[in-house]
Structure 1
């Protein structure tokens, strides 16, 4: 057995044995970085499997197409599977790479530089906004190194909106756009809250589109994706899952709910009573 494969097997076993402990995730990503630096064919074969383990399906598919040579039936089956996962999932739902101390500090500084979104308090952590090379915001025409990573709901295909044009409503007005697909509400309609949510709040990455929850006559704050494990760690699994079951949507999700998985939970918290709720979506 080649040393690359041996290390991959060892780290994967540790990851599963320790229930996805952050240090194990870091080790897998560090191995991926190491394998990506070499031209060794055996290393690249292992890297394909490692990318798949991390749910980086587009990365796995692209690399596999580069190294596959005169594929046999088994390889063609794998190629087809990776292609399908690349098209349906891409790299969007990859296992999050835990941040290092200095990265956490930088992210906090980024968050403080953004306008505050009451219904989406940390759009950096949720992936709604990303940092990269400077791009021109199509709304205000100014360059920004932080921009919206989703597409608003409008006629035009608008990309790279800056956070400020979403927060002040300029982008929604200019492009006749909304950022949230759907939301629940009980009672009399509140136009101001609807304006703030649909036109001035960044959406979140999901399988079938956003479905925003409400409580106490207001929309809730979106906190991010969760699975049953995360809910149990927070000590809220029993209450949250029971409340969700009462919605009569997906049933008996506890055993199948995984953060960023094919059945994923989206966590919300009431701005007033602080109660947690989840919405569940599937691929």
Structure 2
């Protein structure tokens, strides 16, 4: 069976939140070959959710949970975008609290976990985000370039606008 596609997380396998692994989904109770290993905010301890139950919203509904905290998101133009992100999109693994960026009035798609070497070719495109990160975090641009290492103390998360393809950058520290 083909994996469902997610507008805001187009490659959850490369982000290690969906893995090829046998599971009996606690939502649909079907045997599945893929399982979700990302954040899911609910009062119950739930494991083994399949991607199909994320996509159709049944996992969030059954457990009254969300895959992304709506307080940890940029503003968007339509409520339907928030619903799709928090109820029907696999999250990503952040060091601290995951944050979802937006552009063109809608959420961006998470592309990959990054350090400076993975994004240095995008420096000009990411100038505004880099300046915001440096001014808000007390970093110089040179410190950011040195300390932003994939899997290191400063972790980067690269997003891309689903309309104009502009890249955006979010970072957090371990």
Given candidates 7, 10, 32, the residue that maps to 1:144 is 32
Going by fraction, where is strand more abundant, 1 or 2?
A: 2
Alignment partner, residue 90 of structure 2 = 202
Please tell me whether residue 115 in structure 1 is matched to residue 1 in structure 2.
no
* TM-aligned CA distance change 1:144 to 1:192, over 3 Å: same
Alignment partner, residue 279 of structure 1 = 170
Alignment partner, residue 183 of structure 1 = 73
TM-score by length of 1: 0.56
CA–CA separation in structure 2 for the residues paired with 1:223 and 1:260: 16
> Matched residue of 2:15: which SS?
coil
Unaligned residue ranges in structure 1 (runs of 5+): 1-111
Alignment partner, residue 16 of structure 2 = 127
| 1:224 Cα offset (Å) | 1.1
Given candidates 239, 243, 246, the residue that maps to 2:132 is 246
| 1:237 Cα offset (Å) | 2.2
Given candidates 131, 144, 164, the residue that maps to 2:52 is 164
After superposition, residues 63-82 of structure 1 pair within 5 angstroms as none
- The answer to whether the Cα contact below 8 Å between 1:166 and 1:199 also exists between their aligned partners in 2 is yes
Of the two structures, which has the highest relative contact order with CA contacts closer than 8 Å and spacing of 6 or more? 2
CA–CA separation in structure 1 for the residues paired with 2:147 and 2:131: 13
Given candidates 86, 111, 116, the residue that maps to 1:228 is 116
- The answer to whether the Cα contact below 8 Å between 1:241 and 1:254 also exists between their aligned partners in 2 is no
Q: Show structure 1 runs of 4+ deviating over 4 A.
A: none
| 1:210 Cα offset (Å) | 1.4
Over aligned residue pairs, what C-alpha RMSD do you find?
1.6
| 1:242 Cα offset (Å) | 4.3
- Greater radius of gyration (CA): 1
> Matched residue of 1:238: which SS?
coil
CA–CA separation in structure 1 for the residues paired with 2:172 and 2:24: 33
| 1:185 Cα offset (Å) | 0.8
| 1:239 Cα offset (Å) | 3.1
TM-score by length of 2: 0.90
| 1:238 Cα offset (Å) | 3.5
| 1:192 Cα offset (Å) | 0.8
CA–CA separation in structure 1 for the residues paired with 2:149 and 2:11: 21
Deviations 1:127-167 (A, max 9, x none): 110112x2211111111121001241010011110000000
> Matched residue of 2:158: which SS?
strand
- The answer to whether the Cα contact below 8 Å between 1:135 and 1:144 also exists between their aligned partners in 2 is yes
- The answer to whether the Cα contact below 8 Å between 2:129 and 2:170 also exists between their aligned partners in 1 is no
CA–CA separation in structure 2 for the residues paired with 1:128 and 1:171: 15
Deviations 1:172-217 (A, max 9, x none): 111001001321115x5x2211110000000001101210000000
Going by fraction, where is helix more abundant, 1 or 2?
A: 1
* TM-aligned CA distance change 1:242 to 1:255, over 3 Å: farther
Alignment partner, residue 123 of structure 2 = 237
